[in-house]
Structure 1
Amino acid sequence: MKDTRSASQIIYGFLPEQTIDLKGGIWKVREWRAPRRLSEVDSGALKSEILRQARGWETAQTDYYRFLNKLRTGIAEVEPYQIDEANGVLLDAFPKQWICKGCNLVYLTPDAICPCNSRTKGQLPFVAYHDCGEIREVSIERCPTHGEVRLEFAKSASIADLRFKCPKCNWSRQGLPFMKCSCGAPMKFNVHRAAVVYTPRSVVLVNPPLSEARRRLENAGGSARALTWFFGGMKEKSALETAETQSSLASDLLTRGMPPEVVERVVAASGLPVGETAIPELPIDLRAECESQAMKLALATLDSRLRTEDLAAAIAADHELSVQYRAKYPEAMQSAGLASIELIERFPIFTGHYGYTRGDHDPSKSTLRPFRHHDRSRRNVFPVYGDLAQTEALLVRLNPQRVAEWLRLKGHDIHAATSTESTYAAILVAAADAASGESVRSDILHLVHSYSHRFIRTVAIYAGIDRNALSELVLDSMLSFVVYAVPRGDFVLGGLHAVFERELDTLLAEVVHGEHRCPLDPGCSKGKSACMACLHLGEPSCRLFNTHLSRKALFGAGGYFSLLPNPRSARSAAGANT
């Protein structure tokens, strides 16, 4: 059977071992046929990002083939691939159990002749699966006397209420029979498209083309230099323009593994200026996370970065947009609790999938199954299936001083500071605290992620596009997120650019003051205060599977937007803008 789907659909919905609905049947993807190797993607950076994102499975030792340990020790490597549209993907019918749509008799072949003379058959939509990653067709008992069975669908949604009967005698069974997985544990049952049956594990890599500027950044300290640049407020056009200081030198040398006492002597003899607020000493994992996210920002803005102040500087004082750029945009960002919004016209993004899990999302309770080559001679080379593109994006950075104030409302001890840099340092110190740091980091993630979803749902309206054509990159340690057009998605290039140049103030007014109640309230607000009707996004858009979300982080007495400098005047200005 042949059929046609867009490349974006294949990237997200036609991954190896994934089951799909297609042309009235149910299929399982066997493989991508002769995919194109993406030599442009930095495999070393890709491997590091996979190790960072999947460390939960490595810690729990629940990664199949000891995949992550092999990557870390250099035994195995990863290779990024893109779909070859000429070859597509290879599918197998699964499960191989068919039901007559006339009388509900169950058959093992689609061409079996049914006594009711109906020629239409559909597949049984249920599968058996286990957290170890195994999936099978469900076992269906047949009448021991007549060898036949008819399925009677229950009026409830529970699989346990399904009834199987013999059409010729009184033999019957209720529910699906017990099945044991290869690992010895009992298997679970669900419809094949349920999220617990197959969850792709993805990685997002900011991957600009290899250039002289990128080489210079990597040689000049890389992620440590990027963190210093971010810590200083990203005042320079790129991380490469950051002036070397004693603080940045010390940060770089410590990252390279030099002993602290040696670093102190080298820095003292360097003759460099002291610099602004020093980056606080952080636990290794948190420091690595901060540097990784700062490096993403540095790479993303290396070749393309347009700030609101650049818009103002490019026009005369008497231009029709002068007041909007010089007054309304800054006021709107202050009201929205943002430090800045920037346009990245060429956002270089690789979105890939390195494996999947079944069952529980907790790494200690599920097994990470990496994708593998069918060629056994390449058993230590693991493919990552995805897409590489340059697209447009908006970089949104929250105001650290407003975030610190919000965290204090949440009960966290954040030391007061006067400058943006010292406030961000105080937040990091709180996030590094052994007793309360995990709670601080969780609250920050909820805030940044909820803000990102609220922003995406709003900007999609202003850009006039389907919000599923937008995706996010959450950089919670940087108090930032990136909203970008999904590569190969249903998106008109230039939509974000137009909003950035013309409607940023009204967009932010809508984010802050627009309708924030949920159609499913009060039920939604009594739960997590986030659902498909208010904050959730589609799978291609949200990298965190719609977790760590709550409208309470943004709205209400303890919400981020309750900290407006002057809510009444800000709301009046929003009304005047619209």
Structure 2
Amino acid sequence: MEVGKRQILFQYLPGKVFDHRDGVIARVRSIVGREHKDVTPSLLLQSIREHASSWPADMRTNLPDQHLNDLSQFVFLDPLELEAELFPLVFWCNNDSCAHVRVVNEDTVPRTAKCTRCSVGEAIQMPFVLMHACGRLEAWNPPQCGTCRSRADLALQRRGKLLGSNSRWWCLRCQVAVTPLTPRCSCGWSNPADGISPMMQYELYRAGRTMYPQTVTAVNQPNRSEETTKLLATDGWAAAATSIHLGLDQIRGMSLNEWCRQRRAVDGDGAAATAEISTEELNALMNQLMRGEITPAQMQERVTQARQSASSSQVALSRANLEAAIYNAINLDSPAIASVGREMLESVFLSEATRVGTEQGDSNGTSIERLLAKMGIAEVSVVTDFPVTTAVYGFTRGAPGQKAKLNPFPRDTHYGRIPVYTDVVEADALIVTLNPNMIVQWLESLGYSCTLPGASSPEVSAKGYFLNLFDGVDLRETIGAGAPEARLVFGALHSLSHISIRQAALLSGLDVTSMSEYLLPRSLSYAIFCNHRFGATIGALVSLFDQSLEIWLESIRENRGCVYDPVCTSQGGVCHSCCHLAETSCRFFNLNLARPMLFGGHDRELGNVSRGYLQFSEE
């Protein structure tokens, strides 16, 4: 069965039960795919490891740390088509006076719709399945009667049209009720504190609770996976990315790939190998020699000096030296640098993307620049090659987060490894970066004391503050009152991103469900892009930037209300009408959103927010 890649990634994963186009209920048995060559496996595995590590080890026993640290355990597949099977092989008579349940196999599937027992009702596929938070999903087979020890004469009786607590299994032969309604899961696991019973639950086969895909999204560089792999294999890449983000003098003006090339010219003990001067320098010396401006001996001396200078530069760019510079600037130590490394890497990737338009906030500039400054936005850009990779590596059942066990998909039969299903899109995107100094001033106006590191410039100090702010904060869970600054900053960024998407959809003609966000909270940035191949590069967002940027920004500023106010405002200022996006658009499950973060009002966790970020920035 052939379906679109995005459909596979979110709707047709292995083990998912769905309505087959042939009019039956089916289950995805496997996905046929080829190994994806346009992704960087080590970068994606790092993203997966960070995401999966939010589950305790005993809640992901099928994804232990030794697997998450071993790239050879995984294969990154480009999905092509799916293989499905008839499921469940259980048929239920829709005649309420009969309600007989019959289990068949592939060879004995009924050829007629008539119930073979009563000849009145129709035998339909059982529309319910059994599931458990451990990840198990089974057909709802009839239990064994305690009197006759048979399963052949069981009926599933219900009161009315829906199953409920008063439904029951009934033995038609013995005329007795059979309990329990659902069996105990064979795993034996339960967690009463989170409402997890050892009993399996019945659920409508198409319900979303039967499978929550666990997805990571990474800024990947298609056609540069080899370069990125070399970069990630170079000691100190996290420190280099962090230094570039901060704009430290030691690495100013240098790209990550340039840093990588210089560092790979250094041997393992840190001593510089023979460094080569650049082609440009060598050509300049040759021209001077040919014009008679220098002698051969002078040329040799200058080549030697240039090599020594290059060698000194290589040593200065070592991990130890860069980490020391970062620590001196913003008090970020080596473990903390490693923990923020991937986000800093993606932030640098975004800064190196091809920009076709950029506007910066300036209170003395053009009307758009003044508007950006009033909104506390440092920069908004449009790029045409936003390189985003979506990877689905596992699933949960019953709950989307850590209340259910995390499971990988069954090992691929062809490759023998754990499959990760990936999709790479280079899309048009709008990238928005907030003003770090303005965010700090906003927090201080709300009464929070922001202890900034003593860097050489206010900009570096502010950037360093946000690198430390989210340490130990799980952004995929509700940020509580124990971390108010983190909740305010992430809430403002996340809420602004959602409102930006909703308003961009109205102006660009793209469907709001076809747009996604990508948040980089430590760099106070977010990107919005079209996640569908059809709309990814048709120029809708480029046209919005070129023709309607000021209208878009004004619509964000004015989007203070909700059709459900005052009820919505009294309950935290967040609902499906004003802030929520589809699950394919928001990778943070619509958590930590609130209009009060932007416009002031009552927040569910922090109480009254006297002024929102957009309010403060306009003052």
- TM-score between the two structures when normalised by the length of structure 2: 0.72
Residue 292 of structure 1 aligns with an amino acid whose one-letter code is R
Provide the residue aligned with 2:195 in structure 1.
Answer: none
Q: Could you tell me which of 424, 437, 458 is aligned with 2:463? A: 424
Provide the residue aligned with 2:26 in structure 1.
Answer: 27
Q: Does 1:565 align with 2:618?
A: yes
The CA distance in 2 between the partners of 1:100 and 1:196, in whole Å, is 26
Are the counterparts in 1 of residues 385 and 426 from structure 2 also a CA contact under 8 Å?
Answer: yes
Q: CA shift at 1:158, angstroms?
A: 7.4
Q: CA shift at 1:29, angstroms?
A: 1.3
Provide the residue aligned with 1:550 in structure 2.
Answer: 594
SS in 1 for 2:440: helix
Provide the residue aligned with 1:113 in structure 2.
Answer: 114
Residue 372 of structure 1 aligns with an amino acid whose one-letter code is P
Q: 1:467 to 1:358 in 2, by over 3 A?
A: same
How much identity, in percent, do the aligned residues show? 25
Give runs of aligned pairs for residues 271-290 of structure 1, distance below 5 A. Answer: 279-282=329-332, 286-290=336-340
Q: Does 1:478 align with 2:523?
A: yes
Give CA deviations for 1:346-392 in whole Å, capped at 9, x if unaligned: 112211101112234443x43221123243x955x322102122111
Further displaced range: 400-409 or 338-347 = 400-409
Q: 1:378 to 1:90 in 2, by over 3 A?
A: closer
SS in 2 for 1:531: coil
Q: 1:183 to 1:505 in 2, by over 3 A?
A: same
Q: CA shift at 1:436, angstroms?
A: 9.6
Provide the residue aligned with 1:334 in structure 2.
Answer: 373
The CA distance in 2 between the partners of 1:306 and 1:437, in whole Å, is 42
Q: Could you tell me which of 82, 85, 94 is aligned with 1:92? A: 85
Give CA deviations for 1:472-522 in whole Å, capped at 9, x if unaligned: 111111111111211435556211111111111111111121253243x45
Give CA deviations for 1:294-338 in whole Å, capped at 9, x if unaligned: 21122234341234259x9xxxxxxxxxx9x96122122223221
- TM-score between the two structures when normalised by the length of structure 1: 0.77
Q: 1:476 to 1:494 in 2, by over 3 A?
A: same
Give runs of aligned pairs for residues 100-499 of structure 1, distance below 5 A. Answer: 100-101=93-94, 103=96, 105-108=99-102, 109=104, 111=110, 113-114=114-115, 121-141=123-143, 147-152=153-158, 154=160, 159-163=164-168, 171=176, 176-183=181-188, 185=190, 186-189=198-201, 190-211=203-224, 222-232=237-247, 240=255, 279-282=329-332, 286-309=336-359, 327-363=366-402, 365-375=403-413, 379=416, 381-409=417-445, 411-415=447-451, 419-431=458-470, 438-488=483-533, 493-499=538-544
The CA distance in 2 between the partners of 1:210 and 1:433, in whole Å, is 34
Q: CA shift at 1:433, angstroms?
A: 9.7
Q: CA shift at 1:223, angstroms?
A: 3.6
The CA distance in 2 between the partners of 1:162 and 1:396, in whole Å, is 54
SS in 1 for 2:54: helix
Further displaced range: 46-55 or 365-374 = 365-374
Q: Does 1:64 align with 2:25?
A: no
The CA distance in 2 between the partners of 1:271 and 1:30, in whole Å, is 52
SS in 2 for 1:308: strand
SS in 1 for 2:600: coil
Q: CA shift at 1:183, angstroms?
A: 3.5
Q: CA shift at 1:75, angstroms?
A: 7.3
Give CA deviations for 1:113-155 in whole Å, capped at 9, x if unaligned: 3267567554333332222211222354588689242532557
Give CA deviations for 1:225-249 in whole Å, capped at 9, x if unaligned: 3322322399x998619999xxxx9
Are the counterparts in 2 of residues 301 and 344 from structure 1 also a CA contact under 8 Å?
Answer: no
Provide the residue aligned with 1:574 in structure 2.
Answer: none
Provide the residue aligned with 1:54 in structure 2.
Answer: 52
Further displaced range: 220-229 or 538-547 = 220-229
Provide the residue aligned with 2:277 in structure 1.
Answer: none
SS in 2 for 1:359: coil
SS in 2 for 1:47: helix
The CA distance in 1 between the partners of 2:525 and 2:317, in whole Å, is 34
Give runs of aligned pairs for residues 521-536 of structure 1, distance below 5 A. Answer: 521-536=565-580
Query: Which of structures 1 and 2 has the bigger CA Rg?
Result: 2
Residue 350 of structure 1 aligns with an amino acid whose one-letter code is T
The CA distance in 2 between the partners of 1:397 and 1:118, in whole Å, is 66
SS in 1 for 2:614: helix
Q: 1:134 to 1:216 in 2, by over 3 A?
A: closer
Q: 1:287 to 1:523 in 2, by over 3 A?
A: farther
Q: CA shift at 1:345, angstroms?
A: 0.5
Q: 1:182 to 1:275 in 2, by over 3 A?
A: closer
Q: CA shift at 1:284, angstroms?
A: 5.5
Q: CA shift at 1:461, angstroms?
A: 0.9
Further displaced range: 410-419 or 389-398 = 410-419
SS in 2 for 1:64: coil
Give CA deviations for 1:413-451 in whole Å, capped at 9, x if unaligned: 214798333223234455559999954334433222222
Are the counterparts in 2 of residues 469 and 491 from structure 1 also a CA contact under 8 Å?
Answer: no
The CA distance in 2 between the partners of 1:75 and 1:564, in whole Å, is 46
Q: Which ranges of structure 1 fall in alignment gaps of 5 or more residues? A: 313-322, 567-578
SS in 2 for 1:402: helix
Residue 26 of structure 2 aligns with an amino acid whose one-letter code is W
Q: CA shift at 1:9, angstroms?
A: 1.3
Q: 1:303 to 1:378 in 2, by over 3 A?
A: same
The CA distance in 2 between the partners of 1:201 and 1:128, in whole Å, is 21
SS in 1 for 2:62: helix
Provide the residue aligned with 1:572 in structure 2.
Answer: none
The CA distance in 1 between the partners of 2:502 and 2:167, in whole Å, is 39
Further displaced range: 345-354 or 397-406 = 397-406
Q: 1:478 to 1:543 in 2, by over 3 A?
A: same
